[in-house]
Structure 1
């Protein structure tokens, strides 16, 4: 008799390929089903870059392996980043104003993108106008057409769809 463990369906412990790995496989294997081009942010790349900045090349490679992603940086780029991130970290830790008078948490590094909005930025946030936008001045009478559904053969929604499809140009508020 078989044990209950052997009767369970096999669970795939492997993660699906990362975005870069999938694209690379599509190029290498033209017979492979092509996925739609995805131009969104690559979270695996961000995690790997953060790991490289925080803990070095070994952690960068570990994150890439864990995320099943290919290395997107050359060896020269990895060395350059680790060299200058280490120099920047040592400069901030032993600089003249190395006191802990900063407003942000100490466990979040300045080098990485721990949050979407950086805690410290080179630029001031933009001044946004608060409140409702002003209504533009309207010229001339407005035009309104009312349709009553007298004959039950045409649905109002179908009539509106046909009118929208027939529309060629929408006039702006300032045009005549």
Structure 2
């Protein structure tokens, strides 16, 4: 049986009356980080200090606390480059990445004179402004109307 999320991806008219449109707030991520790193009491203190409403059900909090796995941080790089204890899911350390950065040719592509079409720019907002499509709907529309296909790969 399809979930509400799957149905909303396939057809926007299949949403139930109880379906809540997903959205993202930065303090959600910080609150979950606090819950994982410092426990339930610190999580509740964070919500009170930031004047944020509860957004996780008790069952969700229990599930997170029972299933979270903290990974040991490697100190192979020495104290100069190693992550400190204040790192969170929002911290990115490119020097300590285990994946080599791809070798990209960052030059301008050759364009034959006379074949260059007009420039088209779309500004997309999340959540969308009134009377505008969501980013997902806009991308789907662009793909359907595309005349030229490009491919992007994250692994070389």
Give the TM-score, by structure 2 length: 0.44
> TM-score with structure 1 length normalisation?
0.40
Structure whose alpha-carbon radius of gyration is higher: 1
Give the number of the structure with larger relative contact order, counting CA–CA contacts within 8 Å between residues 6 or more apart: 1
